[in-house]
Each structure stands twice: as structure tokens, then as C-alpha cells.
Chains A and B, each alone.
Chain A
Amino acid sequence: MSKYVPKKEDLSKGILQQESLLTGARIDGDWWDEPFEFRDGNFCHAAKPEVLQELGFPNPRKWAATDDDWLLPAGWEKTIKEGLQEWLKKSRSLKLYLDSCVRCGACADKCHFFLGTGEPRNMPVVRAEMLRSVYRNDFPLAEKILKGFSGSRRLTKEVVKEWHMFYYQCTECRRCSVFCPLGIDTAEMTMVVRDLLNRIGVNNNWILAPVANCNRTGNHLGIEPHTFVQNVESLVDDIEELTGIKVNPTFNRKGAEVLFITPSGDVFGDPGVYTMMGYLLLFHHIGLDYTISTYASEGGNFGMFTSGDMMKKLNAKMYHEAERLKVKWLLGGECGHMWRVVHQYMSTMNGPADFLEKPVSPITGTKFTNAAATKMVHIAEFTADLIHNGKLKLDPSRNDHLKTTFHDSCNVARGMGMFEEPRYILNKVCNTFHEMPENTIREQTFCCGSGSGINAEEYMEMRMRGGLPRAAAVRHVREKHQVDSLVTICAIDRASLPALMRYWNPGVSVYGLHELVGNALVMPGEKRRTVDLRENTMAGFEEEDDDE
């Protein structure tokens, strides 16, 4: 296990026995006087100077969160205050959410990081107060007359450190927002503060390196075009070996009907590649006229965790490439924050996409009216429609070796409202699907603990703490129903949940939904399948059982 996390027994004991708000201990005085300390496992490496230079970001230097002096640029206070002023002008929601919280405390125990740490600043209301307290100090309000009374404080270097620590212990998952009677969205504040911190060079290499890669090569992993193609082609070979079917994806092909974009983790990461194999099998089987771009080869968007401009800049490639390739519409793979960007930002930022057509499934004729403006359809919507119209022959018993549960990804759940399509598909492609407890799924789903760009190795302790509520819910169905397979529709989940499961629930593997589709798909001309896409033996299909 990682050197950045204590042994499971020790961390468990720590969480259960520590004096914290979780265990009922009280804090004397004010939350802003509570100490915090950067140590191994609770901070991400700072962005490397060359990464900042490549992006044209300010204050490139070598530094670490554990340093006393963070080498902030001259005038950093002014930069932050002006930045905040700018955001307040641009965004009604920020101003509303800073002004109107009544601190009713409904959100206090809704955050996975609060549940994993017991830290007062991880109560969503206090997370927002970290910014509000500074805002109240510097912006005119009647309450300002009595500063101690209104809970305001000066912006100091200590506050910057506190922000850096605790705005990265928020994964922008928006679970708190579901419970807030005023609909306050903590993610809006986290996004603004991270943007402000980036303006003074307080940053995270695990976010900015992928941003730089994505800008240059087209994807977060920095895969250059020829390698991207090679990798997909090696998946094509694997597919042929396993199924006897030769799929034939094309790249950067003009005139295809559909441009398919998925997170690069699906092309390069384990277990994302198996999900990719599922997509490729499905598209081949239905004869979809599609192409994959090496230039717009990233579905995800770490710009979202950086700044509004960066999100827009990286996202712009999707429409740009769709226009160049003259496709009719876009189809997007399984991903969480990608879909938050596509669903809630894309057409506003980079549209209107008048050069595209309103998406229609060429197989079923279904019009995806809900994507009429953005012209991008989610793969789960697409596949659910295929199944509903009887276009796929599926043998769910091919997934009988898996006992599954489904993890709703935060962004797809609370930023898009997609709950039924993946469940519909999952129920069609496997026979054993057990839901986790109701307060941990759907709109109340818990984050994997590593979303919003904190999936770094050196952040392992925080990830294991933040992921604990999710892991505990999986453990519940593991003990009750012997669940061994956690199915998701998010690439960050596929990258982060395996580590979380190894730590808290050994024996649970992580799957993408379309990997299971790929397993279950019965295709003409396929060879007798005895193993699944990751070459695990299927139950009931073993060769020795073949008595025919």
C-alpha cells in the first residue's frame, strides 16, 4: 500500500477514537482558530514550474505546502480581492450563496470529507464560511460594523494555507447542495477559490499537469496521436482474440455520422480500457458510423478544477473538431465531470453548435430531444435506447460471475440527473444487481473521495478518508449480498475506486457499465466466449462444462 496512508487498522482506530465533531467532542472557541497541519498524505504536490510556464500561469517556482514561506507574489492580497470582486460581478449565484446562508447546519454531516475526518472546516457550511469570513471583512455590509459579531477576518497568508488545504478537501460533488434549504452550491465557491488560488500560484500538479497535457496533446494523459491510435489498436487485437470479432474503429475520419469522445483514461488506464472495449464492440455490432479523434481525445476536463477560462479552452476542442470532421452529432463516453461540463456548460461556453444536427439514433430513429442544443448524447442514453428498442441481443448470464452494485457518480447524478438509464442497462446485462443503502445512492450518492483532481498518490490518506462513506456502503452490500463488483459510469471512479476498494474492501473490483455490456453482447460470428473482457472466467461458460 501507499506510503502516504497509514495502515487500515490505524486509520480506522484514528477515525473512531479521535476527539472530533464526529465523535461528539466539542471545540472551544471559533473554527478559524482550529489548528491544521500539512503532512504526508494530506496535500498534493505543487505544480511544477515548467507546467505553469507552458500554461502561462503566474508565479512558477519550486515550493511545497509544507514550506513555511509559500513565496506568494507581491500584491497577492490585491490579486485575490480583485479576483473575488470580478467573480461577484459575474455570478449571481456566488453573491447569493455568500449572502444568504443561515447556517442551519443541515449540510454539516453530509460531506464525505467531514465524515472521514471530523474536521470542522469540512462541514460544507464552514467550507463556505472560510470564504465568507474574508468577504464580510472586505465588502460593505451592516454587519461589518461589529467584526467579531459577524465572524469576519482578514485575508492573511494563514488563510491562503487554510484555503489550499480545505478547498482541496472538497470534490465539488454537491451532495450538501441537495440538503440545503436555500440550494447553496458549495462547488461554486470551491471553484471560485481554486481559481483565485491559481492566480497567485497556489496550485496542484495533479490538476495542472493534465491540463497542460490536454492542451498540447488533446488528452490529460499526454498521449500523442500515434500512441493513441496504437493503444486503441491493441485493444482491437485483444477484442479479436477474446471474441473472434474484428472491430474497426477509425480515427480523425471526415464525414462520419458521429464523433465519439470519452475520457483518455478509457484508452490508457486499467480498468478503463475494458470499458473502451465494450464501446468498440457495441459500435461495431450496431454498425455505427463513428470516428474517434486524436485531437479531441479527452472527454474529461481538468480545466473545470482550474478556472472558468481553462475549462472553456479545453472544451472548445470538441465542437472545433466536430465542425472540422463534419460529423452530425457527438456521442460521449462514461465520465462524471466531463458530463457536468457537457451538460451544464458546453453549449453556453462554446455553442451554439449550429453546424451540427439534432442527434438522432441511426439505429432506432429515436430523437434525443434532450440534447437538441448541445448535440451531445450520453452513451448510457444511447445504449438504453438501443436495448429498449430491442436492437441488442444480450445474455446477462455472461456476467453471472459478477455480483454487482452501482455507484452513481456525483456529477452525473447531481449535475445531470441521470439515474435510470445506467440502472436499466445494468439490469439488462447482468442478473445480480444490488443497490447500496438508499442514503448513499442516486441524488444522495457519496463521492469516490478522489474527484475534482485530487486522485494523486501523495494524497492517499485524504482519499481513503474521503472515500470512506462510499466504501462503507459497498461493504454493506458485500456483507449482505456478497457483492464483488462495483459498476460505475465515470473514468475518475474507475481510476480511484480500485485503490479505495483495495484499502477498505479487498476483493471488490471496479467495472465500467459498458464493459458489462461488452461481456453480455451476443454477436453473430463471435467465437464461443468463456472469459470476460478482462479474461476472467465466466460462470457457467467454462470449457469443461461443454457437453454438447
Chain B
Amino acid sequence: MKKVLIPVVMVALLAAIPYLGVTMAGQQYLFGVAIPYAAAALFLLGFLYRLFDWLKRPVPFRITTTAGQEKSLDWIPYSRLDSPATPLQAWVRVLLEVFLFRSLFRNTKAELREGPSFTFASSKWLWMGGLAFHWSLLVIVLRHTRFFFTELPGLVVPIEAADRFIELTLPAFYMTDAVVLSAVTFLFARRLRDAKLSALSLPTDYFPLLLIGAIAAAGVSMRYLDKVDIMTVKALALNLAQLSFDPVPGTIGPIFYVHLFLVSVLMAYLPFSKLMHMGAIFLSPTRNLCNNSREKRHVNPWNKPIKFRTYAEYEDDYREKMRKANLPLEKE
């Protein structure tokens, strides 16, 4: 269980650092301004570097995963999403993957039965958990933009309103807070519980889940439990949004610095980890290419001529045998 303990200890340590740094050493500026800037810079530059690093490499062949009928004869309907014939269809395929996790929707669970044989039952848990996790994260990130603008961006208003539709608490309860914490718990638990998942998981799989869970927990607790001065937080965020290096404008509870530091760690970690899948999913050649390799030639930039055994060499070797078999010859 070392695989789980290492990340648990790491996240605990990472949470302790800003807490102690602020309460014992008075490093509000370091954790409130300097580190967030550094992390944001790492995130942006790192993300762009990784995208560029992928994009500069060629896609030598057009290798799609066809999960539906190809476009062939006119009278045979083809699958526009699973065997796309035009770039538009391919991009719809990618976007549905990004927003709805179509491939995960297909998921089945294989079970060994007497015979031996197998049953393949539909299994939508991962799809549901994954969707809940990613969508609530997106809503939460969008919601947070309210801190960085004096006026809430127009797009965010309805999202924010919808998110606190259920008014259970004061301040209003955000559904996504509950969803993201449940989803993280589910995704974490399935890695532990399932024998296959536990065998294939690495510390780097538990770490981001724990980190995101800790960020959410810190965020939730300073909103509902150990409340921090929201106006000062907003003032700091506005400063950051304007790239100002002013000191932190007032006193904020230490739990806020834990939240902000863990977000900084996440931002800095993201470009160098599997979390880059958020960029990679757009580039995956099996999904974003058309299945039209026979219709339209795909060019491979490093394709070079190759020496192969020509017909002439073949005939030279087999001329007598070919003659006896009455095969036409180039040279008599």
C-alpha cells in the first residue's frame, strides 16, 4: 500500500507547508502572491511547451480507430461519428469525447463464468463518476472567475446561479462542491477496491485525486465552516488578475493559503504529469482523423524510398521455372 501512502503523505505535507508558513513564519506574501504567480507561469509555459512538443512531431499515417461502418458504397449508411469521413465529423467525434466521454459510455465489465465463458455487462459507473468529476471541476473553475473580475462575467452568471439552485445553507450551497468531493472519493475508492485497478494504479494516479480532493475540502471548509474574509480574498484575486505585486490586502485565515498553495501545486504539476490528458485528448490521432485513407492520400513527411525486391530481380531468379510454367516473361 506504499503506492497510496506516499501520495497521502505528500499531500498532507503540501498542505502543512503553507499553514505553517503563514501561521508561524508570516509568509503571506510568498504564499499569497509569489508562489501563485510562479505556478501560473509554470502552468502556462509548461502547457504550451507540451502542446508544442506534441504538435511538432509528425503524424506519419492516418490510423483511426473505426468503431462504425466506413463510408463505402452509396447505399450503405455509414457512421459519421465512429468512422468519420470529413474533418467536421472527426471533430464532432473528438468534442463528444471531450464533453460526453463517448468511449467510456461503451464500457462493459467482463466476468468469467463456467464454461469457461464470459458475460459483458454494461458498466457506466466510471463514465458517470468521470463525467461528474470533470464537469463539476469545470463549473467550479468557471465559478472562481468571479474573484478575478469586479463584475461577474456574463457567461458565469447562469452557471453560478444554477449551481446554487438548492439553497440549503448560508452562504448558498454549491452542488458542484458535493459532486466533486463524492466523485473524487468514488474515483479514489475504485482504485483501491477493484483488484485490477489496484494492480495497475501508480502513486501518480492517487496523488492528483488526493490533491484535488484536498483543494476542494479546503475550499469547502473556508466557505461553510472556518469562514475567511471573502472581501479580502477578492481584493487579493483582483490584484493578481492585474499582475500586481502589491502586498496581500489584509488578513485572511490560513486555510485560504492552504487552498491557494495546493492549487498552485496542481497548476505547476499539471503540465508535467498525466493531467496533460486535457490537452492530449484533442490531438489523439485515432479519434481526430478521418477514416478516408484510401480516398485521400495522407502524406508522411519522413517517408523515403525503400529498396525492395523488384520484379526484374524476381524474374532473374525464377526465369527457367517461369518459362516451364508458361508464364509471360519480360526477358526471354
Contacts and interface: CB of A to CB of B under 8 A. Distances in A.
Interface of A: 12, 15-16, 21-27, 30-31, 88-93, 95-96, 99-106, 108-110, 115, 120, 123, 125-126, 129, 141-143, 148-151, 174, 177-185, 188, 215-216, 218, 224-226, 229-230, 251-254, 294-295, 309, 312-314, 316-317, 320-321, 324, 342-345, 347-349, 351-352, 366, 368-374, 376, 381, 384-385, 388, 413-421, 424, 437, 439-440, 443-444, 468-469, 472, 475-476
B199 A149 contact: no
B83 interface: yes
Given A92-B285, A178-B103, A370 B115 contact: no
B130 A123 contact: no
A160 to B, nearest CB: 22
A100 B200 CA distance: 15
A440 B120 contact: yes
23 contacts: A21-B199, A27-B195, A102-B277, A104-B126, A123-B196, A149-B207, A150-B204, A151-B203, A178-B106, A179-B103, A294-B327, A320-B310, A321-B311, A344-B293, A348-B62, A369-B295, A372-B294, A373-B294, A413-B66, A417-B68, A420-B69, A472-B117, A475-B115
Contacts of B327: 225-226, 229, 251-252, 294
B329 to A, nearest CB: 9
A96 B203 CA distance: 21
A220 to B, nearest CB: 14
Contacts of B114: 16
Interface string B59-88: 111111111111111011011001100000
Interface of B: 2-3, 6-7, 50, 53-55, 57-73, 75-76, 78-79, 82-83, 97, 101, 103-104, 106-110, 112, 114-118, 120, 126, 130, 190-191, 194-205, 207, 269, 272-274, 276-277, 280-281, 283-287, 291-300, 302-303, 306-311, 314-315, 317-318, 321-322, 324-328, 330
Given A26-B199, A177-B286, A421-B76, A149 B204 contact: yes
A414 B205 contact: no
B314 A218 contact: yes
A215 B317 CA distance: 12
A351 B299 CA distance: 9
Nearest to B198: A26
A100 B65 contact: no
A105 B200 contact: yes
B276 A370 contact: no
Contacts of B297: 347-348, 351-352, 373-374
A90 B195 contact: no
B308 A100 contact: no
Contact of B202 (A115, A150, A215): A150
The 4 closest A-B pairs by CB, nearest first: A417-B66, A142-B272, A417-B70, A100-B280
Nearest to B57: A92
Nearest to B204: A150
Given A91-B57, A443-B68, 10 more contacts: A26-B195, A95-B53, A106-B104, A142-B273, A178-B65, A314-B308, A370-B294, A413-B66, A417-B82, A419-B68
Contact of A476 (B3, B65, B117, B284): B117
A90 B56 CA distance: 10
Nearest to B53: A95
Given A225-B322, A294-B322, A373 B295 contact: yes
Contact of B61 (A110, A294, A348): A348
Contacts of A475: 115, 117
B272 A343 contact: no
Contacts of B63: 93, 185, 188, 344, 415
A23 B118 CA distance: 12
B224 to A, nearest CB: 30
A444 B272 CA distance: 33
Given A24-B195, A93-B63, A102-B205, A125 B200 contact: yes
A542 B188 CA distance: 66
A475 B114 CA distance: 12
B314 A349 contact: no
B295 A370 contact: yes
A181 B325 contact: no
B274 A102 contact: yes
Nearest to A373: B297
